Structure 1
């Protein structure tokens, strides 16, 4: 069953700007322009795009914060803008830079308030809280006021808060922002387990393609309010002809690395003993790393993912009709 349904959904804003001392100009901005898609129950979907593409506007319509200007939208058979309170008990939301926690209260007190607001059964509340505290490593933070938490700590606190009432769908906006590598891995593992154990539907917006690769089999790309891609991540890389970057640190300064039998790999930059090699994002880095390690005095290396903006830009270059 499709849990989320959008048919030709639009959101138009009236924007007024001053053009003179006593003059104002009015124009319409189409933040979302006729988007249609379906998300089955239990699916994890990446919803990505550059800043200003319409991602947050879509999420706000899905939660009932904004009312669509046109089209049809349903979440669990509910019209979010008409039955926002009813829907609130079935969804969880984490907006990256905006917290749902009480700023001056300790983290534990924020959770107690949500316990009452959502009328969560006591046993279920304790079970969910213990699980979130354990997996998100929040034990030492429960008595700390939210305003004293770092961004990464607060993000983990917000994710726990969004899950205390067992939502059927979870909207995540940049859930790993501000997290270190270990914390990111914990959050990703937590979300995978949540989806597997409880079939929670997840709609994830992020600029970190690693989040998408490790969590989502399906990705949707929105740009200028329109859906420009809906499919597998590998397909997105192929359409956008995107490249990953292998950063290689050698023991000493050497001429550019040569891999004659790999025409799709190219050296894009050399600075002393460090070299940057570009290769297709849809290809595995393992064979490339093995060849370099076998033929060059390697000290260290890392793989950098393409950013969303560059992928979409190449989509437009390769197909002006997009």
Structure 2
């Protein structure tokens, strides 16, 4: 399989202006401005092969959306090279946009005051899609996303979930080989999210559509992506399989205790001086979670000590979630690594 996206030493810098304090400072700002160069994306390199579904993740301000905008030709890189579908997104603009689909969760590509189907017809002409290709492909898309009953409604009368399903359909009118999704499920209810996830799996299997997904919803990543690229302060800190990330950094289990009465951390900590336990309160003084290693003896010992000391009304044991793993990585600053990769980036390594 060939590479659909090739990014090498990609960098995007912005000028950040700072104002001087006081009246004299404001006057000086009229003539000269203080500014510093801030790298939003800092020498990022990675490749994505045809048919891959890759999660591009990171905290707010990590540089995810800036990267997507450079890959789609909206922004011009400060330095570095980008090849998407064998083209330079900025120099071969007209041909390039016909080879990609883009969905920004907070921006619409549909016309607000006209019926959805009229927007589809306009986009069909823009992308020069034949009637035959449109009918064959879009009948499946409309049916799978369950938007047939929405086609004659103006976009402004749709709910957020309905609009996002129509946005996704609009991005696929020309059946592009590559789909960029930037927060496509933001603010959606669970049922709509499930429908969108199932649809994305289907088009990936049927057309080998390559998908690059940015989202804060780790359930989206777990449901769709086998590989994740993790960004922190504009740099790639992990590029590899989601399963490897879980295996290396997800050691341990989370035991959730619901107590019959309020309990404090000062009461719980003395029970486990010889065990590696991290206690976390879940918003109520009666509900606490303990993160422990996977050794069964340690789990049994912890439960025995807690039950022997307090009255328990409920108890559950579960694997540490991917969301928790990602949060721990960022909280603890575990971003250094020595393991070489084909992408020439430092990655998280276990040990």
* Pair 1:39 & 2:40 matched: no
- Conservation of the 8 A alpha-carbon contact between 2:253 and 2:317: no
Matches within 5 A, 1:119-268: 119-237=128-246, 268=280
* CA-CA distance at 1:317 after TM superposition: 4.7
How far does the alpha carbon of each residue in 1:233-268 deviate from its partner, in whole angstroms, 9 at most, with x for none? 233345555888676778x669899xx9xx777653
Q: 2:333 aligns with which of 301, 304, 316?
A: 316
CA distance in 2, matches of 1:49, 1:103: 31
CA distance in 1, matches of 2:130, 2:332: 49
Could you say if the C-alpha distance between residues 202 and 318 of structure 1 is closer, same or farther in structure 2, counting changes exceeding 3 Å? closer
Give ranges in structure 2 of 5+ residues lacking alignment. Answer: 339-345, 347-351
Q: What number of residue pairs does the alignment pair up?
A: 309
After TM superposition, the structure 1 stretch with the greater mean CA deviation from structure 2, 149-158 or 302-311, is 302-311
CA distance in 2, matches of 1:75, 1:113: 25
* CA-CA distance at 1:307 after TM superposition: 5.8
* CA RMSD in angstroms, aligned pairs only: 3.4
TM-score, length basis structure 1? 0.83
* CA-CA distance at 1:306 after TM superposition: 2.2
- Conservation of the 8 A alpha-carbon contact between 1:9 and 1:68: yes
Q: 1:269 aligns with which of 281, 288, 297?
A: 281
DSSP 3-state at the match of 2:188 = coil
Could you say if the C-alpha distance between residues 179 and 265 of structure 1 is closer, same or farther in structure 2, counting changes exceeding 3 Å? farther
How far does the alpha carbon of each residue in 1:4-31 deviate from its partner, in whole angstroms, 9 at most, with x for none? 0011111112233332213221211111
* CA-CA distance at 1:273 after TM superposition: 6.3
Larger Rg: 2
Which residue of structure 1 aligns with residue 88 of structure 2? 79
DSSP 3-state at the match of 1:109 = helix
Which residue of structure 1 aligns with residue 18 of structure 2? 17
Could you say if the C-alpha distance between residues 133 and 230 of structure 1 is closer, same or farther in structure 2, counting changes exceeding 3 Å? same
DSSP 3-state at the match of 1:45 = strand
CA distance in 2, matches of 1:108, 1:246: 50
- Conservation of the 8 A alpha-carbon contact between 1:242 and 1:314: no
Give ranges in structure 1 of 5+ residues lacking alignment. Answer: none
TM-score, length basis structure 2? 0.76
* Pair 1:49 & 2:58 matched: yes
Which residue of structure 1 aligns with residue 342 of structure 2? none
